[in-house]
Structure 1
Amino acid sequence: MPASDDRLGLGIETGGTGSRWCLSASSGVIIARGEMEPMTGHVFTQAERDRVSGIFTRLAGELAGIDRPAAIVAGVTGLGPESAVRAVFSAILATAFGCPEDKILIVDDMWLGYRARFQPGEGIVVYSGTGSIGYHLGADGEIIRAGGRGVLIDDGGSAAWIAAAALRRLLRREDEAPGSGWESALGHALAQALGGASWDAVRTHVYGGDRGSLGLLARAVAAAAEEGDALAAEIFTQAGEELARLALALRARVGAKPVALCGRAATLSPLIAQHFRALVAPPVALDETQVDVPACAANLACELARSDGNRL
């Protein structure tokens, strides 16, 4: 239990496959932490707003025996720079936790991921998960992005991009020489993930799912690369080049700052980091282990609790 005068900060990281939270004391001690259901900034319907509200109401009930957070910092995926969703999330959290809205800060998940690695103005983050983006947070708070325009037209080097590239190349092989694609190591790995070696299996998975289900196929591409499949290896080489492009684009705009390559998709194959480093001059760091973003958010919430406003 925290000391009676130790104000608590609640940090939240939402995501499309799961969400995490951390409750920290101003002394830096983590009081509690856990996981929640998936949620994003796409709370455009009343049903979705009610669902998100229910998630936070349940969490508030779980934390009632500890203490009420004095401030909350939440990183929400899919949040636009001028999104009205900030007000929606702020109101939901204020109601659930009885926290004043001027002590609630709603930010996009990349802002939070950046602050977990750099102080404002210090570096560049290149993130590769289901999607991809290059991100710099200036010392003055200005956000400069490269890429990150969605899997339909962009997100080069991401899990969804890797999966789509593999499917495209495999199916074109099938066009030219039926059987040659599916009989490769890449073909076998994808067929197992898809539940069949056919266009119907591909179509059902890709067009019947979402970008998350498409991105999960990147694991099959990684398995094929480990078996020595040349096409899979080539795709990961190109993924490293795509992610390097994001870093180089931002360095051209903000200077030769340190770069952190992060996200689970960036670790699918060592070829990604190898070719990224070949193109991006040092200093470059690869997040070998996942940074504790919810704990960072909780620490920032403690800082917010001590501040006069609701900006960090």
Structure 2
Amino acid sequence: MVGIDAGGTKTRCVVLTLGGALAGAGTGPGANPNSGGDTAGALSEALTEALGSIDPAQVIGGVFGIAGAGSAGRPAAVAAARRAWQTSGLRGSPAVVTDIAVAFAAGTSAEKGIVVFSGTGAGAAVINDGAIVQRADGYGWLVGDEGSAVWLGREAVRAALAAFDGRGSPTLLTESVPRALLGPGAVAEFATPRHRGRHRRALALAGAAGDLTGPGGGTAVLIPRPAAPPDPRLAQAIVKEVYGRPPAALGRLGPVVAAAAAAGDDVARRITEEAAAVLLRDVDAVRPALGGSYAPVVMHGSVLRDGPVADAVRAGLRDRFAADPRSAGDGAVGAAGMALRRLGYPVPGPRRAGS
């Protein structure tokens, strides 16, 4: 049985036996055409690797969860899935669902419940038997996906640029964002002797003055000091890098924001707090579609694995449902599990990606 979880930045494929054992696994690039992915190519690459030496005649079905496969993008997603399936020599065609449905299946074998997700995309949905009953957001980087890794990255760049030109508050992001986007070597090229190390020296002086110690000697809080204006070419280099890559590439800044927030940076904290708030708002919007019945809540995506956004969302869900949410495992295994369930076979439990 084949399962695929095709997101905006990565595609994973697994092949499970009818007993739920892992028989093969493969990966490919992002498959969401709305964020720059080649859907058919990514599916084919991951599927070919996962099948390996497996006889295609032994594969009896599969489920492909594809980002952007909602009603607007479904025809293109189905066509790409069938093309990849047939190119691999498989019989029939796979079922195609959105990656949102697969995200829910990655955390529970229940047919109905809520999934809140934040990776390349973000939002929440009520799922019933692989179908979206009601959703909030998940509309793509241009008009939605608030609270996603891409959204976090965009907000981090905006905050860094605002601090550079005097519109925003001093923030650690003015150092960590360019380093993440351009690399330490590239950043050093823009540093004159006057600017080089100024930000770090300001933090060191703040620490010497006792500004880095929390109340009662608790967790240290970094308070960036205003530094000399940076070389204006640095801001332009950042802008060029951002616009020169697919929007999904901004997602790599998600951990940068989380690290700055954990270090006590006020600007980064505001960004992560807003991300958690909008994700919980998404859950509140879809919750009535459950009809008052108990159902599991699954957290899915890189932003919701750990860190300040995950912690805040987990606490908010616990308050709302008086129970701990479930953490999703490997989405590709969730997709294969959906395929097994539809044929009446036992569904394996959640499994971490790569395990």
- Residue among 293, 296, 300 paired with 2:334: 296
| SS of residue paired to 1:150 | coil
User: Larger deviation: 114-123 or 190-199?
Assistant: 114-123
- Residue among 69, 89, 96 paired with 1:97: 89
- Residue among 12, 16, 21 paired with 2:8: 16
Q: Which residue of 2 aligns with 1:36?
A: 27
- Residue among 320, 324, 339 paired with 1:281: 320
- Residue among 283, 308, 311 paired with 1:270: 308
After superposition, the C-alpha distances for 1:43-89 in whole angstroms (9 at most, x for unaligned) are: 9xxxx577457536744862335862111222122212262121341
In structure 2, how many angstroms separate the alpha carbons of the residues matched to 1:88 and 1:177? 45
Q: Which residue of 2 aligns with 1:5?
A: none
Report deviation, 1:156.
1.4
Larger Rg: 2
Structure 2: segments with no counterpart, 5+ residues:
188-229, 346-355
Report deviation, 1:243.
0.7
In structure 2, how many angstroms separate the alpha carbons of the residues matched to 1:162 and 1:72? 33
Q: Is the 8 A contact 1:266 1:272 kept in 2?
A: yes
- Letter in structure 1 aligned against 2:239: R
In structure 2, how many angstroms separate the alpha carbons of the residues matched to 1:150 and 1:163? 14
| SS of residue paired to 1:84 | helix
In structure 2, how many angstroms separate the alpha carbons of the residues matched to 1:129 and 1:70? 31
| SS of residue paired to 1:127 | strand
Q: Is the 8 A contact 2:13 2:50 kept in 1?
A: no
Q: Which residue of 1 aligns with 2:145?
A: 155
Q: Which residue of 2 aligns with 1:254?
A: 290
Q: Is the 8 A contact 2:3 2:332 kept in 1?
A: yes
1:49/1:168 CA distance change after superposition, 3 Å? closer
In structure 1, how many angstroms separate the alpha carbons of the residues matched to 2:256 and 2:46? 35
Q: Which residue of 1 aligns with 2:219?
A: none
Number of residue pairs matched by the alignment = 289
In structure 2, how many angstroms separate the alpha carbons of the residues matched to 1:124 and 1:114? 7
| SS of residue paired to 2:88 | helix
Q: Which residue of 2 aligns with 1:224?
A: 260
Q: Is the 8 A contact 2:57 2:90 kept in 1?
A: no
Instruction: Report the TM-score when normalising by structure 2.
Output: 0.70
Q: Is the 8 A contact 1:159 1:218 kept in 2?
A: yes
Q: Is the 8 A contact 2:15 2:51 kept in 1?
A: no
In structure 2, how many angstroms separate the alpha carbons of the residues matched to 1:91 and 1:306? 27
1:52/1:218 CA distance change after superposition, 3 Å? closer
Report deviation, 1:100.
2.0
- Letter in structure 1 aligned against 2:333: A
What is the RMSD of the two structures over their aligned residues, measured on CA atoms? 3.2
- Letter in structure 1 aligned against 2:113: G
Q: Is the 8 A contact 2:30 2:39 kept in 1?
A: no
In structure 1, how many angstroms separate the alpha carbons of the residues matched to 2:28 and 2:272? 31
Q: Which residue of 1 aligns with 2:122?
A: 132
Instruction: Report the TM-score when normalising by structure 1.
Output: 0.78
Q: Which residue of 1 aligns with 2:176?
A: 189
Q: Is the 8 A contact 2:26 2:48 kept in 1?
A: no
Q: Is the 8 A contact 2:153 2:251 kept in 1?
A: yes
| SS of residue paired to 1:155 | coil
1:110/1:26 CA distance change after superposition, 3 Å? same
| SS of residue paired to 1:63 | coil
Structure 1: segments with no counterpart, 5+ residues:
1-8, 308-312
1:90/1:285 CA distance change after superposition, 3 Å? farther
Q: Is the 8 A contact 2:103 2:300 kept in 1?
A: no
